[in-house]
Amino acid sequence: MAVIGVVGAGIMGTGVAQAAAQSGHQVVLTDLDAQTLDRARRTIEHNCRMSRLLGGPAVDTEAVLDAIEFSSDLKALEPAGIVVENITEKWDLKRELYPRIDAVCDPECVFIANTSAIPITRIASATSRPDRVVGVHFMNPVPLKNVVELIPGHHTSEETLRRTREFLDSMGKVPVQVRDASGFVSNRVLMLTINEAAFLVHEGVATAQAVDEVFRGCFDHPMGPLETADLIGVDTILLSIEVLHDSFGDSKYRPCPLLKEMTDAGLHGRKTGQGFYSYATPTPVGA
């Protein structure tokens, strides 16, 4: 199988690296921060050992870790046939990154943008290979969530789509193809729901617990919107809703001030131990 490059060792990048390695791929996981890479290694080890308890398959932890190279140098991506980018949802950062990986990787390498809000055509414009750039919105936790959004950009070729589908199939992922529009399907709906739920708390209409109880009890949702916010990361929610607001210029995407306050205060959810709910210890990244 092709070597898979993964850029960004946060929650999503760690999950993609683990899922690809579990599927038999050799993986190169890169991040500028060595501590983030160390944390990613520990998280993958933890998640592999806990896979059965989390509802997944039994996993050979050592085999998965042996299949992943951890590197802080983008040049380690040179042998990759596919690179999955997972950095923060900020266009300025992505616009700076893509020319760098474009210069390192083989001209035939496919770039997969794991983004939840930024249009793929815009991302492709930062490269010399817009026909080999495609979006895949993986869901968290990546090893356990099988459905993904597949988003071709304006120039994405059929060959790129074929190779991407083969890669997704190798990991047991089921792609649902949607058009290239900011937020795609899942985040156009989910971010509005979470943002409005945060407004209910901000305005004193209901507590976070009450909001989530309504969604669990009335609609049979396994998690309420604010529990989901804590799982994804409150800071990530804020970035996504800001992208939607900037993209559409529609006031319905105005970010709730409470999300901004919580982000500034470091109350990012499970990963920091405190969000809309308190957690005894921070959840390992990607868990």
Which residues are tagged catalytic?
116, 137, 149, 187
The tokens 């985040």 sit on which residue?
Answer: 187
DSSP H helices, 171-220, are: 186-202, 208-219
Per-residue DSSP letters for 228-246? Answer: HHHHH-HHHHHHHHHHHHH
Radius of gyration of the chain (CA): 18
The residue among 156, 147, 158 whose CA lies nearest residue 180 is: 156
What's the CA gap between 143 and 19, in Å, rounded?
5
Query: Could you tell me if 168 and 175 are in contact, meaning their C-beta atoms sit under 8 angstroms apart?
Result: yes
Q: How many CB atoms lie within 10 A of CB 2?
A: 17
Q: Strand locations in the chain, DSSP E?
A: 4-7, 27-30, 68-71, 82-85, 110-113, 133-137, 147-152, 174-177
* Chain centroid offset of residue 287 CA: 13
Distant-in-sequence, close-in-space partners of 151: CB < 8 Å, separation ≥ 6 = 120, 134, 135, 136, 137, 177, 178, 179, 180, 184
Bridge-based pairing state of the strands 147-152 and 133-137: antiparallel
Single-letter amino acid, residue 153: G
